[in-house]
Amino acid sequence: MDIVTDVKILLAKKRMTMSQLAAELGVRLKKHYALSNLSQKLYNNTLKYSEMKIIAEILGCEVIIQEK
């Protein structure tokens, strides 16, 4: 799976929209965060690690980096 699919699955489980996620991300980053900006970053794989950590937190998850 890719990050877009993972985020969409988590959003569905939390009954949350991408718009709501973008709005909450903006609140936590203390700046305007448009839905289009979030979508582009997800589809282009250009999310910052710090942004992904916040998204995971909003969705009740955590980012784990693990050795293979």
Task: Please give the chain's pLDDT, 68 residues, in tens.
Answer: 688 899 999 999 999 999 999 999 999 999 998 999 999 999 999 999 999 999 999 999 999 999 98
Strand, helix or coil for residue 7 = helix
Domain count, the chain: 1
pTM for the model: 0.88
Q: Does any domain span residue 63?
A: no
Structural domain boundaries enclosing 41:
3-58
**CA contacts within 13 A on the Cβ side of 67:** 0
Q: Does any domain span residue 10?
A: yes
Q: Does any domain span residue 42?
A: yes
Q: Which residue has the tokens 């973008």?
A: 22
pLDDT of residue 3: 86
Q: Does any domain span residue 65?
A: no
Q: Does any domain span residue 23?
A: yes
